[in-house]
């Protein structure tokens, strides 16, 4: 029964162009080109564990000492006094608004319950150093992967002529460098999806979760269907802006305000150019207009395009948030708050952070 469901899901009528079978694009010594191997779609999962381990080592032995050298605080908020009854109420509803009910139930004053709840929420917050290490890790990957992507794609015809993504499909050969680019990129997004559940929890937690799942789905399905050419362009485009997203946060946590403001300006230009400009008006326009002209349509095409449009919706939402921060920045004279999201309970803005008080803001390091 399971086999029947799997065969129905991977129907050639759905995932492949007309008159094409899985056997036609299966790798083999007798084939004119090297096709993608669908079993390799699982390789990024164990590789993701390697990334998580590498991240742990870098954060522990390089990023954290570097952050401490920069003077970034590693002080955690004061813990709430041990109270099993209040803990039980908190776990049942950590954002309880009717504190008077809890106070009466536990024979406490409303003020005592409110103070304990505030301390309890704060103690789950990571230190500034922890958030800095997370951002530096992402900056490291995005910079390396973007450079690797440029190196891999520079001599590829489809980087300069996007129509080459469709001409000759699905009989397009795979090279070793493209194989590694796909595997490394997919593994990183798998690692982000896994580690997201213990990383700094931000307001856009579920948006980011959907983004990672959509990206993994795009990478996996495009790999299986040998649509790796358009996939590499999407990956390269995303890494470019993500460098600035994480670098701005890291500079803010380190209190390098001038660097933060400069990077934020670079972020606005890069983000709007790539995510709101090139992505919809070049990539999605190509997949929606040019692709139907160059190859026969099949159901999977609409799946891929829908996932790309889902990413675009998320881009628009984040663009609005970034422009809101840009507006506040112009009014304040410097970058305030977090980029694209903030912590779920406590905003990263200076007004709400012990690590960026007015006194510290007047003594910021500059480059």
Q: What is the pLDDT of residues 307-317, one digit of tens each?
A: 889 889 989 98
Report residue 142 as tokens.
């995005």
Domain boundaries, the chain: 10-71+127-361, 84-123
The b-or-e profile of 258-268 (16+ CB within 10 A means b, else e) is ebbbbbbeebb
Confidence of residue 272 (pLDDT cuts 50, 70, 90): very high
> Are the C-beta atoms of residues 86 and 106 closer than 8 Å to each other?
yes
pLDDT at 99 over 80: no
How far, CA to CA in Å, does 20 sit from each of 8, 129, 236, 316?
16, 53, 29, 37
CA nearest to 200, candidates 146, 251, 136: 136
Mean pLDDT confidence for 103-129:
73
Count other Cβ atoms within 10 Å, centred on residue 96.
13
**pLDDT, tens only, 214-261:** 889 889 989 999 999 999 999 999 899 999 999 999 999 999 989 998
pLDDT for the residue 367 = 33
* pTM for the full predicted model: 0.79
Mean pLDDT of the region 282-296: 93
- Under the banding of pLDDT at 50, 70 and 90, the label for residue 326 is confident
Instruction: Measure the CA dihedral 25/28/31/36, to 10°.
Output: 40
**18-70 residue pLDDT tens:** 888 888 888 888 888 899 998 999 999 999 999 999 999 999 999 999 999 99
Distance (Å, rounded) from C-alpha 217 to C-alpha 194?
Answer: 15
Distances (CA, A) of 42 to 180, 217, 237, 257: 13, 12, 24, 42
CA distance 234 to 228: 10
Residue found under tokens 């522990």: 60
């Amino acid at each position: 029964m399971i086999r029947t469901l799997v065969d129905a899901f991977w129907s050639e009528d759905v995932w492949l162009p007309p008159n094409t079978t899985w056997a036609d694009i299966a790798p083999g010594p007798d084939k004119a080109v090297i096709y993608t191997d669908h079993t390799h779609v699982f390789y990024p999962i164990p590789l993701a564990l390697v990334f998580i381990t590498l991240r742990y080592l870098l954060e522990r032995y390089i990023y954290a000492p570097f952050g401490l050298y920069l003077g970034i605080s590693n002080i955690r908020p004061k813990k709430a006094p041990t109270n099993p009854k209040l803990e039980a109420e908190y776990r049942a509803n950590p954002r309880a608004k009717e504190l008077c009910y809890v106070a009466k139930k536990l024979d406490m004053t409303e003020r005592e319950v409110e103070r304990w709840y505030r301390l309890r929420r704060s103690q789950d917050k990571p230190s500034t150093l922890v958030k800095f290490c997370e951002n530096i890790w992402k900056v490291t990957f995005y910079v390396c992967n973007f450079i690797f992507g440029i190196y891999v794609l520079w001599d590829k015809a489809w980087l300069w002529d996007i129509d080459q993504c469709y001409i000759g499909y699905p009989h397009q050969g795979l090279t070793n460098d493209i194989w590694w680019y796909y595997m490394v990129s997919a593994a990183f997004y798998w690692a982000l999806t896994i580690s997201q559940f213990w990383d700094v929890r931000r307001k856009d937690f579920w948006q980011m979760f959907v983004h990672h799942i959509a990206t993994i789905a795009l990478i996996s399905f495009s790999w299986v269907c040998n649509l790796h050419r358009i996939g590499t362009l999407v990956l390269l485009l995303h890494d470019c802006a993500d460098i600035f997203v994480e670098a701005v946060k890291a500079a803010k946590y380190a209190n390098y305000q001038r660097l933060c403001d400069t990077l934020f300006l670079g972020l606005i230009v890069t983000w709007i150019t790539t995510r709101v400009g090139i992505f919809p008006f070049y990539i999605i326009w190509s997949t929606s207009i040019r692709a139907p002209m160059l190859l026969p349509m099949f159901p999977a095409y609409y799946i891929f395009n829908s996932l790309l449009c889902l990413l675009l919706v998320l881009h628009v939402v984040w663009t609005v948030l970034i422009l809101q921060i840009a507006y506040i920045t112009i009014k304040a004279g410097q970058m305030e708050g977090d980029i694209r999201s903030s912590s779920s309970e406590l905003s990263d803005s200076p007004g709400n952070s012990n690590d960026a008080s007015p006194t510290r803001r007047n003594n910021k390091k500059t480059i």
